[in-house]
Amino acid sequence: MAFRLAWIPIPLFGYGVFDSALSDKSDPIQITIVIGLWIIWSMVLVASLIPSASLLTLYRVLVPISVVAAIWGSLESQISSSSIFLLFSCAICTSICLLPSVGFWFVNGSSYGDEIRLPLKPPGPLLLGPLPLAWLVLMLTIIFPAILLSAESFFWGSVTLAIGLALSFFSYRSLSALAHRWVVFVPAGIVLHDNMILTDPFLVRKPLIKQVRPALTSSDSKDLTLSSVGMCLEVELYEPANLSLSVNPLAPPAVEEVVSFFISPSLLSETIEEATKRSIPTL
């Protein structure tokens, strides 16, 4: 609700800003940019109304583009109250769209029956470059080919479109894979769904779970967090279980026996609360 309250008035704030910013541009460029902005705004609004795991990546790719557009429009036009409100609204929307609670809302829109999905944190090393770079590729592919083609720069427009589409395919697929990493509470127990480290979803049945608790640094549990940033949880078992790990995509899966392991849900307290509700021992 807070997101939509900030997103809906953006066209009102942006009308004067972009009208001034585009005043010295050719008609084809003006039409292309205006239509593009309306398409992005409409797609985000529709996505914000439909909780679905398949829409989470699209939503988080498009919303930050509004900040780029707002900054460009404000620089090209005279600073006014409208540009300030536009920048503020776009920044607020971008901050909200990246919240773990928003990811929780989206992924549980696709859940089945009596299950609760809790998104996992992204791997720490990806935050240092690959994630922003993947978003940058998608953003540039959305913006520049259309502008170049509308400016009748057909050669460079076609080149950037071809290269951008090829790179965007891999970028979007990678971001989508990150959005489909969950720890899932089901009636039978806990399922770890993470294709980045597991070959198949890993089900731990409720009778085998000794305890779910905040992880201790001194523990020698199997680390399944992929070096995510911040606190993680430790799942202890009464007896060993076999994990099928995807160590190398080109090699056969490595089967490892574990009696405890680390997971990194983005909502730690909610994970512990859900475990308690389902009669899973917690600390």
- pLDDT of 174-229, one tens digit each? 999 999 999 999 999 999 999 889 988 999 999 999 999 998 776 788 889 888 88
pLDDT per residue as tens digits for the range 44-84: 999 999 999 999 999 999 999 999 999 999 988 888 888 99
Beta bridge partners of 243: 256
Domain that holds residue 89: 1-109
114 occurs within a structural domain: no
Structure tokens at 117: 């999905």
118 occurs within a structural domain: no
**Residue showing tokens 């020698």:** 220
Same domain membership, residue 201 and residue 103: no
Residue that is last in its domain, among 84, 109, 134: 109
Phi-psi map region of 113: left, alpha, beta (phi>0 left; psi -120 to 50 alpha): left
244 occurs within a structural domain: yes
Number of folded domains in the chain? 2
pLDDT per residue as tens digits for the range 18-53: 988 888 888 999 999 999 999 999 999 999 999 999
pLDDT per residue as tens digits for the range 102-151: 999 999 998 888 899 999 999 988 988 899 999 999 999 999 999 999 98
Structure tokens at 80: 């006014």
49 occurs within a structural domain: yes
129 occurs within a structural domain: no
181 occurs within a structural domain: no
Encode 128-157: b = buried (16+ Cβ within 10 Å), e = exposed: eebbeebbebbbbbbbebbbbbbeeeeeeb
Residue that is last in its domain, among 109, 140, 155: 109
Residue that is last in its domain, among 91, 109, 127: 109
In whole angstroms, what is the distance from residue 264 CA to residue 233 CA?
6
157 occurs within a structural domain: no
The two beta strands, 222-223 and 254-263, are parallel
155 occurs within a structural domain: no
Same domain membership, residue 207 and residue 104: no
